[in-house]
A and B are shown apart, each in its own frame.
Chain A
Amino acid sequence: MSAPENTGKAGVLVAAEDAPITDKLAHATLDDVLYNIVHDILIKVHRDEKTARANTAAIKVEKLALNSIDSSSTDQRPDVEVETDSAIYKDGNVTLKGNPLKTTKEILCPKCHLPRLLHPTDGKGGKKPDPSVIYCKKHPYIEKPGYDIYGQTWVAPGPGRGKKKKDMKDKLDPNDPSSPAAIMEGSAKDRPPNVLSFPSATCSKCKRCILVTRLNNHMGSCIGNSGRNASRAAAQKISNSNGGSQNNDNTPPGSQKGTPLPTSRAASPRKRDGDEFDEDAEESDPTNPKKKKLKPTALNKKVILKAKSPAATLKKEKIAKGSSMLNVEQKADDIDGNSTVQVAPKKSVPKGPSPTKKIKLNPSKPPVPSPGGKKGKRDRDMESESSGTLSSPPR
């Protein structure tokens, strides 16, 4: 091996020409490691970006192919030939033309086929989106101090027992920064749509509507009171009345009452806690019959619609979420997620079954391959690990 040069492949960390050989070696090694880190990141980003663009090229040419045929046809893979700048559609297959990184500029969502917004709408790197374009609803996450990933912020939880939160103030609506009381009711319209208020929820027992920040206290006495917990709950009530009120402080320390009890029950192993082993309990043989084989079974065996069962009606507390969800769905231009302001979940509405609302892993569609997606590969390539090596390479 030749003497090390004074730097590695990245050429960023350079040792002096007259440095001792160990110094040069150290620089060269560190520089190579730096190169590898950058190389690995680059490969990852390259893969994400190029795959997204290649898929965009495919989506576009497939759309053209479908549009080129009779609209009454239900054929998903029409036998036509269509060509764009970036891809060819032929015999139902898409092949690329050139490098998608050069031929394709935008990225279409593989699911809704709308263009992806490529920058956040606010905060770090934020830009206003082009209002003339309908984007896919999956947006880059917002990074802005005081706001969450959707650009939302919250008004103070309300008056009463909650302490006034200093750090809450800067997040308040500028119109009434010091008066949490004013925010409680009727002011929802005055607030910017991304300023949310704390919702209320219905107690499953007494059906009263309780502000979420008081829900635990309420249920403690309402449900806890009903049976075995009566006395404890009563005691709780007393202890809660002296300053045990809750708040929704956003800053971690010092805001919530917290007493992680150290009296952890012993479900986790504590090998040093017990002093000795009972020799009667020894030797559990791993070959005993409980070893069930967990063979994966067919995907569609699993996915069963359940909402039609009477179970759905039994779920009295089921949240009525369908209507508001559909509303949002129809507003294609709703790009800010503002439609969520009104959502104080109304849980009091007892609901009949509404099977269609449930998200499902669709068993009928073939799984779309994704990195790491292992379904659908099951039936191919069962060849063993040790075979399949190239003996005579192709020329």
Chain B
Amino acid sequence: MAARPATPASPKNHKVKDAQPGQPMYGCEHTQKLFNQDQNTTNTSIQHYKSILRSIFDTNPLISQTTKGSDGVIHTTLTPAWLCLQCPGTLTEEDLVRHGSKKQHRFYVDSRNAALYCQMCDDIVWDPTFEELRIQKQVTGTFSTSRKRKHEELPDPIKDNPTFISANTTIASCKANGLRGIYNAGATCYQNVVLQSFLHNPILRNFYLSDGHQCESPHCLSCAMDDMFQDFYASEVTNGYTAANILSGFWISEKKAFENLVTTKEQDAHEFFQFLAEELHERNGDGKKPEIGSEHSCTCIIHQTFYGKLQSTTTCQNCQGVTNQVQSFLDLSLPLENVTPASAKKKKAGGAKATVMTLQDCLDEEYIKSDKCEYRCHNCSSMQQARRQTSIKRLPNVLAIQFKRFEYKQGRHERAAKIDTPVQFPLSLNMLPYTSRARGGEGKENYELARSCTYDLLSVIVHVGEIDTGHYVSYCRVGDQWFAFNDHKVEVAQLSDVLNAKAYLLFYMVRSLS
């Protein structure tokens, strides 16, 4: 069902990707031949591959998975179909050989992931020219290399952030990989987990490893971070790290707001995250205090990494007047109580199995549903009933999420309690439904927009145990591999360990940056 859009070929000549040292120039001898016939063949091959990519990634998968057999029967499959690179045909696996011998077409594209199959090699080939296009399309959703924000909802592109490539660093040994534990300096595991999540945050890593922070202030916490990044990524030491400078920077910090934190008792990792973010903002940013609730537009590395914007829309029930309020956020704080799991509504009848709450349930509750409130309406000049709805106006590059597991219980004995409810969270998260744009009804069925709002899980911070005797551990992803961090100890983690954890803090990074 070759329903691919056919637009006139661009007059531009396409180029085969330049040879790179340590890499072959072509995926196999046959793509080599393809690219060395003439400019026209190269042009059409690359153009056609791009249109196949668009068809696979930007349209309903039904289109690329629908084939027309030799018998003329149209067939849609769940399993991969093969899109011919040299004609508009889409074929089943069984038909490949016949199509190949009949038409002399030798290259086919897997409809699930756009991998290129070479019939003469009888193998998938990874041709640098095609691969570059495929990854561009799959990751960033576009062939355009401009990093401008296309939609208001999308995160700002990171300014000046060099891509970190370990092969590209001058001195670092192959052994220096950023994987080290951090010693517990006495109930400091709440700091360690946050530090690990910063260490394995690619944006912050690139910033510090490219000397993004330069200053001469004594006792600067950002300088201490800089030192720590160097020690993790430039040295071969595998022993745990002693975060003495971070700790003394923490103790020296003048932030009165954090008096709660400054004790030698175990503290809240979320508060430490906020402390660290604000302290690093002050060391790198515009010098202004990050105002809570206001639209503060700093371009420091912390703001570029974590900050997004929320929009609250309040509609007066009397005059239907609408009030918008925008505020910045460092993280999304999600209550776990009074959340109705979507699965609970669907199968009320079943009842036997306990329904599991998901992260999406919590987000639905906060950023899709509206609630009633009272407010002073300007038009009506009086207190009125109003509906209020909050959505995300600007997504951040790294989305920090806190589950409110520690809450004051009002009652006879007002004391803190821990909510131990498990919450399922996905490896990749589509944030489009929670944006103001989706609120306006836009964006449905827009695969490209949905992909640019896709986030991949980066790290998970877990509080284990009771509220006052607990311990913090964390999981961080490096490439595709997950690691468990328990103070000085780093272990390989299975995906199931990560996804079964009772998360307290989650960090997701927008996919287009990965």
Which of chain B's residues have a CB closer than 8 A to the CB of A246? 184-187
Which of chain B's residues have a CB closer than 8 A to the CB of A220? 251, 262-264
Q: Is the CB of B78 within 8 A of A279?
A: no
Convert A384-395 into 0s and 1s, putting 1 for each residue whose CB lies closer than 8 angstroms to a CB of B: 111111111111
Q: Is the CB of B266 within 8 A of A294?
A: no
What is the distance, in angstroms, from A64's C-beta to the closest C-beta of chain B?
Answer: 13
In this assembly, does B196 line the interface, its C-beta being within 8 Å of a C-beta of chain A?
no
Q: Is the CB of A50 within 8 A of B157?
A: no
In B92-125, the 8 Å CB interface with A consists of 103-104, 110, 112-113, 115, 121, 123-125
Q: How large is the interface on A (under 10, 10 to 19, 20 to 34, 35 or more residues)?
A: 35 or more
What is the distance, in angstroms, from A367's C-beta to the closest C-beta of chain B?
Answer: 6
How many angstroms between the C-alpha atoms of A381 and B298 in the bound complex?
32
CB contacts between A and B, total, < 8 Å: 563
A315 touches which one: B123, B223, B408 (CB < 8 A)?
Answer: B223
Q: Is the CB of B233 within 8 A of A259?
A: no
Q: Is the CB of B190 within 8 A of A50?
A: no
Write the chain B residue with the least CB distance to A140.
Answer: B492
Which of chain B's residues have a CB closer than 8 A to the CB of A370? 163, 165, 167
Q: Contacts A236-B263, A378-B145, A394-B40 known; A361 to B24 CB distance under 8 Å? A: no
How many angstroms between the C-alpha atoms of A96 and B146 in the bound complex?
33
Which of chain B's residues have a CB closer than 8 A to the CB of A35? 79
B7 touches which one: A253, A269, A302, A391 (CB < 8 A)?
Answer: A391
How many angstroms between the C-alpha atoms of A54 and B139 in the bound complex?
23
How many angstroms between the C-alpha atoms of A254 and B468 in the bound complex?
9
How many angstroms between the C-alpha atoms of A114 and B174 in the bound complex?
10
In this assembly, does B343 line the interface, its C-beta being within 8 Å of a C-beta of chain A?
no
Write the chain A residue with the least CB distance to B314.
Answer: A277
In A186-216, the 8 Å CB interface with B consists of 196, 198-199, 201-205, 212-216
In this assembly, does B160 line the interface, its C-beta being within 8 Å of a C-beta of chain A?
yes
Q: Is the CB of A367 within 8 A of B465?
A: no
Which of chain A's residues have a CB closer than 8 A to the CB of B214? 304, 306, 309, 311
Q: Is the CB of B160 within 8 A of A112?
A: no
Q: Is the CB of A253 within 8 A of B323?
A: no
In this assembly, does B144 line the interface, its C-beta being within 8 Å of a C-beta of chain A?
yes
Q: Is the CB of B19 within 8 A of A92?
A: yes
What is the distance, in angstroms, from B473's C-beta to the closest C-beta of chain A?
Answer: 5
Which of chain A's residues have a CB closer than 8 A to the CB of B4? 389
How many angstroms between the C-alpha atoms of A148 and B490 in the bound complex?
5
Which of chain B's residues have a CB closer than 8 A to the CB of A389? 4-9, 47-48, 50-51
Q: Is the CB of A383 within 8 A of B12?
A: yes
Q: Which of A262, A319, A380 has the most CB of B within 10 A?
A: A262
Q: Is the CB of A391 within 8 A of B8?
A: yes
B230 touches which one: A8, A358, A367 (CB < 8 A)?
Answer: A358
How many angstroms between the C-alpha atoms of A150 and B136 in the bound complex?
35
Q: Is the CB of B244 within 8 A of A215?
A: yes
Q: Is the CB of B469 within 8 A of A387?
A: no
Convert A239-257 into 0s and 1s, putting 1 for each residue whose CB lies closer than 8 angstroms to a CB of B: 0100011101110111111
Q: Is the CB of A54 within 8 A of B171?
A: no
Which of chain B's residues have a CB closer than 8 A to the CB of A105? none
Write the chain B residue with the least CB distance to A237.
Answer: B264
Q: Is the CB of A317 within 8 A of B374?
A: no
What is the distance, in angstroms, from A98's C-beta to the closest C-beta of chain B?
Answer: 8
Q: Is the CB of B465 within 8 A of A149?
A: no
What is the distance, in angstroms, from B51's C-beta to the closest C-beta of chain A?
Answer: 4
Which of chain B's residues have a CB closer than 8 A to the CB of A303? 162, 210-211
Write the chain A residue with the least CB distance to B93.
Answer: A9
Convert A211-231 into 0s and 1s, putting 1 for each residue whose CB lies closer than 8 angstroms to a CB of B: 011111101100110000100
Q: Is the CB of B231 within 8 A of A319?
A: yes
What is the distance, in angstroms, from B336's C-beta to the closest C-beta of chain A?
Answer: 13
How many angstroms between the C-alpha atoms of A255 and B184 in the bound complex?
12
Which of chain A's residues have a CB closer than 8 A to the CB of B26? 95-96
How many angstroms between the C-alpha atoms of A259 and B174 in the bound complex?
40
Q: Is the CB of A357 within 8 A of B234?
A: yes
Q: Is the CB of B162 within 8 A of A260?
A: no
Which of chain B's residues have a CB closer than 8 A to the CB of A393? 44, 48, 86-88
Q: Contacts A248-B184, A264-B268 known; A215 to B471 CB distance under 8 Å? A: no
What is the distance, in angstroms, from A368's C-beta to the closest C-beta of chain B?
Answer: 5
How many angstroms between the C-alpha atoms of A224 and B329 in the bound complex?
31
In this assembly, does B454 line the interface, its C-beta being within 8 Å of a C-beta of chain A?
no
How many angstroms between the C-alpha atoms of A394 and B85 in the bound complex?
9
How many angstroms between the C-alpha atoms of A3 and B292 in the bound complex?
61
In this assembly, does B60 line the interface, its C-beta being within 8 Å of a C-beta of chain A?
no
B24 touches which one: A95, A136, A357, A379 (CB < 8 A)?
Answer: A95
Q: Which of B12, B188, B278, B492 has the most CB of A within 10 A?
A: B492
In this assembly, does B265 line the interface, its C-beta being within 8 Å of a C-beta of chain A?
yes
In this assembly, does A133 line the interface, its C-beta being within 8 Å of a C-beta of chain B?
no
In this assembly, does B279 line the interface, its C-beta being within 8 Å of a C-beta of chain A?
no
In A348-383, the 8 Å CB interface with B consists of 356-363, 365, 367-375, 377-383
A297 touches which one: B25, B160, B252, B261 (CB < 8 A)?
Answer: B160
In this assembly, does B361 line the interface, its C-beta being within 8 Å of a C-beta of chain A?
no
In this assembly, does A59 line the interface, its C-beta being within 8 Å of a C-beta of chain B?
yes
How many angstroms between the C-alpha atoms of A199 and B295 in the bound complex?
45
What is the distance, in angstroms, from A340's C-beta to the closest C-beta of chain B?
Answer: 4
B295 touches which one: A266, A284, A319, A356 (CB < 8 A)?
Answer: A284
Q: Is the CB of B260 within 8 A of A294?
A: no
Q: Which of A16-24, A38-46, A67-75, A177-185 contacts B (4 or more CB under 8 A)?
A: A38-46
Write the chain B residue with the least CB distance to A124.
Answer: B492
Which of chain A's residues have a CB closer than 8 A to the CB of B12? 383, 388
Which of chain B's residues have a CB closer than 8 A to the CB of A360? 169-171, 209-211
Which of chain B's residues have a CB closer than 8 A to the CB of A328? 173, 236-237
Q: Which of B175-183, B350-358, B425-433, B439-447 contacts A (4 or more CB under 8 A)?
A: B175-183
Which of chain B's residues have a CB closer than 8 A to the CB of A47? 115, 124, 126
Convert B481-501 into 0s and 1s, putting 1 for each residue whose CB lies closer than 8 angstroms to a CB of A: 101001111111000000000
How many angstroms between the C-alpha atoms of A51 and B73 in the bound complex?
37
In this assembly, does B235 line the interface, its C-beta being within 8 Å of a C-beta of chain A?
yes
In this assembly, does B3 line the interface, its C-beta being within 8 Å of a C-beta of chain A?
no
Q: Contacts A111-B174, A216-B188, A386-B7 known; A306 to B211 CB distance under 8 Å? A: yes
Q: Is the CB of B176 within 8 A of A382?
A: no
What is the distance, in angstroms, from B158's C-beta to the closest C-beta of chain A?
Answer: 7
Q: Contacts A55-B23, A383-B143 known; A269 to B236 CB distance under 8 Å? A: no
Q: Is the CB of B86 within 8 A of A394?
A: yes
Q: Contacts A138-B177, A383-B143 known; A150 to B468 CB distance under 8 Å? A: no
Q: Which of B6, B156, B469 has the most CB of A within 10 A?
A: B469
Top 8 nearest A-B pairs (CB, nearest first) are A258-B266, A359-B234, A246-B186, A390-B48, A260-B268, A216-B186, A253-B465, A137-B175
A-B contact pairs, 20 of them (CB 8 A): A93-B25, A96-B28, A149-B491, A246-B187, A248-B184, A252-B471, A254-B465, A257-B469, A262-B407, A268-B332, A306-B214, A316-B218, A321-B230, A360-B169, A367-B168, A385-B54, A385-B142, A385-B143, A389-B4, A390-B51
